[in-house]
Structure 1
């Protein structure tokens, strides 16, 4: 039985491996505390093997952000050793699923097929959990479903938001639906949904948030989704009038008049590049053109998993922040507690 865990770095990933029935092996070690997020002992990943990297953006405004267009198929498999690029993709696109056969061979799995157990969204960095054992994958998926029903969070995200939430912590609840608008799938909040709305795909969503640090008009926020819906966390933070930094899809729904923020109608607001104000650009040391390439600052930092044998303590898997994310925290003076 084998579980593979990878941490995504903005577009490509470096992996660590956990072999056997969650036995510790080289490349994985226990840590007493994850800096800034969580307090339980867990496993921190460390890269193994070779690591051919693609070229970063000109001038390196976002260190650690890798670009798929600069990778060959062979380089992708080599960089990964289990890499996470994306959960979905158009035919012909270079994605995680398109290289799973090569990835299985690279890991010495033979004919065993890898499957995704848990993953962050397309633009989100962080942990991606893969398994070559159907029984283990099924058990973990059932664990995540049961935890959601019991409203026990299993995933911790960290985000940098443009704006500071009105309260330091709380719950965000919203009914959401997915609509296809102008060739793009967009998530739309639904006020006072009816029974018919729920029958037609509207879902109730819930997230916990906790402000870890504030500074320069921005915040470092810990997010714990208790439901699963596309772009849930981005939309939830928009509803708090604090879009995630680098959210070039939903941030346009937050308008400003005389320094006061308000929500624009989601149905009539088209996605557009996020435009930080001049003060924030100066703090980030970015030009407007560089800001247009700002990656989404939403990172799946931690997954809570059950012990894989009777009597074993639960585990916590951790992924360190991408270097561009850490650079942003430094520029904004946001320090993890």
Structure 2
């Protein structure tokens, strides 16, 4: 579970599987199994009291999703501590940020403060990179920045999509901007952005994708963002007419007429719960009400960090899939090819 780094790389923690809801509030799930980090990391991890809360499918808003509202602050710290897959060196609101001091104490860091260095998006699951060392955090941020300038991806996501991309692999490029309507942010694409648009916040974005497995009307897709922009991967998959499963913000931009998909104008399409056809719901063994609570099936699966010495190969960190994600893959028959 522990990898020794040179002194300047001390003081980081990596949480293996954290559901993105902790950015907005409650919503943290522990790793069922952590693979690839030695005997200790491969042990079965269960948050305290999880066996009492598993319940039947009818008692859950979405099967396999931990009910965070039932957790105390102490239990949340236990779940986060159990989710550490590699280790080095707002009060009143139950979020990851609010319990970082307790997590620091629980990990034996004393007065050292933890800070988030890298994480998945607000609604995505996966790896969260924390640091208790300012020098380490700075070096990691420089590594990520240099990698972006060299267009070298450092993060690999897995996504389950409603629809199958037209090609098995490729890249998605789009100019995006963040707009606010009634205080709610929404990312929209911009065609042929001008220099003025770029100066006013429009960003040219790029992601690589590869289809890993397909099923009837669905796919497991590997995504590697080269640039960083809010909701970049969700919007990129919408532009491919294959919204991510559980995308209740942008999936409404994909319309269908006579079985043919097309893009609706982003500026005039309001967010709404994702609509799946009856055959899709039957394969997922979900009711429409459960589907409306479906979490975003976008998971930060792999993260590359710099090696111990400058010439060393990057270190690869892997996060296990959340139980609901694994359940969905099994239901849809999305076995990796």
Q: Same fold (TM over 0.5)?
A: yes
Measured after TM superposition, the shift of residue 184 of structure 1 is 1.2
Distance change (3 Å), C-alpha of 1:163 and 1:50: closer
1:297-316 matched pairs, under 5 angstroms: 297-316=297-316
What is the match of residue 180 of structure 2?
A: 180
What is the match of residue 4 of structure 2?
A: none
What is the match of residue 23 of structure 2?
A: none
Distance in 2, matches of 1:292 and 1:303, equals: 30
Judge conservation of contact 2:47–2:75 (CA < 8 Å) in 1.
no
1:209-248 matched pairs, under 5 angstroms: 209-248=209-248
List runs of 5+ in structure 1 lacking aligned partners: 17-26, 31-42, 85-89
Distance in 2, matches of 1:15 and 1:326, equals: 12
Deviates more, 1:215-224 or 1:59-68: 59-68
Distance change (3 Å), C-alpha of 1:323 and 1:15: closer
Distance change (3 Å), C-alpha of 1:208 and 1:234: same
Measured after TM superposition, the shift of residue 93 of structure 1 is 2.7
Q: CA RMSD in A?
A: 2.4
Q: Deviations over 1:265-298 (max 9, x none)?
A: 1111100000110110011011110110111100
Count of aligned residue pairs for this structure pair: 310
Q: Which has the higher helix share?
A: 2
1:1-337 matched pairs, under 5 angstroms: 1-10=10-19, 11-14=27-30, 28-29=37-38, 51-53=48-50, 55=53, 58-60=58-60, 62-81=62-81, 92-337=92-337
Deviates more, 1:310-319 or 1:325-334: 310-319
- If the length of structure 1 is used for normalisation, what is the TM-score? 0.86
Could you say what secondary structure the match of 1:8 adopts?
A: coil
Distance in 2, matches of 1:50 and 1:293, equals: 22
Distance in 1, matches of 2:307 and 2:217, equals: 41
Q: Which has the higher strand share?
A: 1
Distance change (3 Å), C-alpha of 1:125 and 1:49: closer
Judge conservation of contact 1:44–1:319 (CA < 8 Å) in 2.
no
Distance in 2, matches of 1:104 and 1:82, equals: 13
Judge conservation of contact 1:116–1:129 (CA < 8 Å) in 2.
yes
Q: Deviations over 1:9-32 (max 9, x none)?
A: 43314379xxxxxxxxxx9329xx
Q: Deviations over 1:244-264 (max 9, x none)?
A: 000000000000111011111
Q: Following superposition, which runs of at least 4 residues in structure 1 exceed 6 angstroms of deviation?
A: none
- If the length of structure 2 is used for normalisation, what is the TM-score? 0.86
Distance change (3 Å), C-alpha of 1:15 and 1:81: farther
Judge conservation of contact 2:31–2:320 (CA < 8 Å) in 1.
no
What is the match of residue 23 of structure 1?
A: none
List runs of 5+ in structure 2 lacking aligned partners: 1-9, 20-26, 85-89
Distance in 2, matches of 1:268 and 1:97, equals: 34
